[in-house]
Structures are given as C-alpha cells and as structure tokens.
Copies of this chain bind each other. A is one copy, B any other.
C-alpha cells in the first residue's frame, strides 16, 4: 500500500514535468501553435492522470484489505510492552549466580578447599576464592514483576538454591536443594507521599536488599537474611534515606541446659530489628536483636548463651579507587555484642555468649593499574572476645589481591595472592585447640570470557593452579575441620577448571 501511495505522486510529477518547454522558445511560435501545444500537453497529462487514477484506486483497495492493521503509534505501544517482558521489567525474569567445577589435588582426588577452609573460616575469616572452590553452587532466581493501572509496581521473587561437592550429575537423596527466598515487594504506591513517596515495602523470606560483599573472598560485608518485613527508602531529610525492617531467624533443636531433662531440645526465634541509613556515600546500619530463652542453650560448662544482641556498621561507598584514580572502593567497620557479635551473618549464630563482642574491618577497591591490568586489593579482619566461652579470643586478618591482565577480547590471566593471620584461643569451646599461625595461597588462572573487561563481567571459564601453605600448628585446631585431615596438612597444590556465572 505504501508503495502505491508513492507511485501515485510520482506519476503526476512525471506528467507535470513532461509539459515543460523553455520560456525562450515560446516567443517564436504563433498563438495557434502555442494553444495547440498547450492542448497537446494537457492531453498527455490527462492520459497520465487516468493511469494515476487507476493506480490510486488499486491503492485504495489494498488499503481496505489491510484496514485492521494498527497504526504505527499503536504498534509502537504494543512493541514497547513486549520489550518490557523480554527485558524482565514486566512479567517473568530469570537471574542466576552459579559456579561449578573441579578442584583436584596432587593425588588426583577432590581437594579440600573453599574460602572458609582455615580455622578462622567458621568465624567468617575468608581467604581468596580463586582456584579454591570445591563445589557446584547454583541459585535460580525466578522473578515476576507486575504493573498496576494506578502506577503501583510489585515484585515477587523466589530463589531455589543448591550446593554440593559431588561431581556426579544425579545427587538425588543427598541433595541440599532448598528455597532461600520467597517475598513480595511493592513500590510506586500512589498512597505513599511525603517521606514515603519513593519508599517500597516488603514481606517474606529474603536476602536483605542492601547486603554487599567482597567478591574475591566470597564474603559479604553484611549478610542479613531471614523472614520478616520492612520498608526501604524513606526520605527522612534531604540527604538522609532510611530503611527499617524486622527479620526473624530460627534457632532450632539446640540442646538445653537442664537438670531435669538432659535430652531436652530448645527452639526459639532471633528477632532482628534493622535500620540502614544513607547520607551521601555514607551508610550507617544499626541492628538490635532478641531471642527469647536462648539463655537456656547449652554451649558448654559455665557459659551462658546470649538472649540479646546489638550490631552496628559504618560504611563508605567510594566512587573512586580510594581517591587515587578511577575505580571504586568500599570500607566498613562493624561492631557487635552478644548475639550481634557475629558481625557478618547478622543474627545467625545462637552460640554467642552474652559478653561476646567483635569488631571487624572490611575494605576493598578496584582500579586499572594500566590499560590492560586490573587490580583489586581487599582486607578483612576481626578481633573478637568472650565469643563462645569466657576469656576466649578470635583474631584474624586476611589480605587478598586479585590481579588480571587482559590479553585478548576473550582471554585474560588472573592472579590471586591471599594471606591470613590467625590467632585463636578458644578456651576449649567445641574441642578446639589454641592456635597461632599464617595461611598463604597463590593462584594463577588463565580465564576465558565472552567479552573481557572489568572485574564484574561474567560468565567466566577458568583453568587454575593453586599453591597453598600454612603453619603446622593450624592443623591441630579441630579434629572436624579440613586442616590436618588426610593428605591436607600444608604445602598443597590444587588444579582445576571452573565456570562462574551471574546475570
């Protein structure tokens, strides 16, 4: 139809043009001749016009046949809607974090490993993860976003997650697959005005929205998760945004101190009231928590588990590399007492004593050292006292550096060096022994990427070789941890291949 629309004016244009003679020639012809010529031209024009008329009629018929076709504006509107569906702004969308691969020791068997492999690990003392992960871990996040006529939006999210160290495909019967998130969140509510205008509310089971991590240590700076509800992004002042939520966590089936019933099990909930506050680049988080009757928990002779806790964090989210160049950095100091003394997994450990107190420092940055060289140093360190037993102390500090050299569009060499100082005096808690020593790890990882560039670009496929070593003393910490187990006593090589994906 468009085609006809276009041919019609063209035909007329040609007809008009064919009438043309130069003005200079006209003066030499008689009026009769001129009139005859005009008439002839008009006849030619008329003939062409008849043809144009026919074409126009055809075009009219074609148009009638496609009369139900939407206008361009309507098409654009419909297209914009399906684009929102394709892009996950409306309807279903899929997000993932996953890693899977082999970590094989010198003996040709699966090696012990993981960022939490050292004696500091159970208390959050992570070391570098590159070339150090023995598992397949996958999160499948299923989202559904709704838009309402009044402008309100709703998000439903559920996450199915599984982790296993088995390399077999079928792990039925031994699988840990479970549902880690189930929540709804509403935003753009027209009834919410003033300080609440941009606020969103939520309820269900979730990872808190504002958790953030040091990726290279596989460690969140704070990881708050559980079941509850709350409100995000209240604008309390021009430069002050605030969140307020309550989270419950289950302390289940713990042994109770009881003279009457030695096998008694206790259950309670740790209820955590949490507030995050943002002032420009600064974040101030405050958490209070309470777990009724947790003081009846048996954590060893003479100790009493905490019923309450307090936790706070001050963090700075930098938009440069420590002010020294392009990149980013984050710095946080965390402090907790009682049930709050687990500074990262907020409210997740019920064995803490009432006197427990911990202070943690978290720090990382990323930048380009040179056009093809990226660097990401990080520090995570904690000092903790009276944690699980009176007079105990848990001190550790990790320094980690990841370096990447971008060699082609699809290939880079990654390097990671990790060092951890460990000084733990557990005072006999859980049959642990006092240890003081260091852990060191070096990894080299030839890495393939669909498109090289930046530390946050995934997916990646890596080959790697890792050498790690530690002081012999660390092998004696616990009979149930990896250090000191069969063929894992220090100076270890490990090799492997792994993919890591997120989107």
Chain B contacts for A165, CB-based, 8 A: 250
Which of A144, A173, A229: most chain B CB closer than 10 A? Answer: A229
Which of A9, A148, A171: most chain B CB closer than 10 A? Answer: A9
**In the complex, chain A residues 71-122 whose Cβ is within 8 Å of any chain B Cβ:** 71-73, 75-76, 78-79, 81-83, 85-86, 88, 91-94, 96, 98, 100-102, 104, 107-110
Copies of chain A in the complex:
3
**In the complex, chain A residues 291-327 whose Cβ is within 8 Å of any chain B Cβ:** 291-293
- Give chain A's interface residue range (CB within 8 Å of chain B): 35 or more
CB distance from A169 to the nearest CB of B (A): 4
| Closest Cβ neighbor of A110 among chain B residues | B269
Beta-carbon contact of B156 and A451 below 8 Å: no
Within the assembled complex, what's the spacing in Å between the Cα atoms of A247 and B167? 8
| Closest Cβ neighbor of A29 among chain B residues | B39
CB distance from A97 to the nearest CB of B (A): 10
Within the assembled complex, what's the spacing in Å between the Cα atoms of A170 and B459? 25
The one of B47, B138, B184 that contacts A182, using a Cβ cutoff of 8 Å: B138
> Would you call A479 an interface residue if the criterion is a C-beta within 8 Å of the partner chain's C-beta atoms?
no
Within the assembled complex, what's the spacing in Å between the Cα atoms of A78 and B83? 8
Chain B contacts for A154, CB-based, 8 A: 450, 459
CB distance from A46 to the nearest CB of B (A): 4
A1-35 near B? 1/0 per residue, CB < 8 Å? 11111101111111111011001001000011011
Beta-carbon contact of B229 and A101 below 8 Å: yes
Which of A43, A79, A202, A203: most chain B CB closer than 10 A? Answer: A203
Within the assembled complex, what's the spacing in Å between the Cα atoms of A146 and B161? 22
Chain B contacts for A16, CB-based, 8 A: 12, 15, 45-46, 48-49, 52
A-B contact pairs, 18 of them (CB 8 A): A6-B63, A16-B45, A34-B39, A38-B39, A69-B73, A144-B503, A146-B503, A148-B451, A153-B450, A167-B227, A167-B249, A168-B225, A175-B176, A175-B179, A186-B449, A189-B409, A191-B409, A202-B499
| Known interface pairs A31-B35, A152-B410; 15 further A-B residue pairs with C-beta atoms within 8 A, sorted by A's residue number | A2-B63, A5-B6, A8-B13, A13-B56, A16-B52, A19-B45, A26-B39, A94-B144, A98-B158, A144-B503, A153-B450, A154-B450, A167-B248, A184-B500, A229-B463
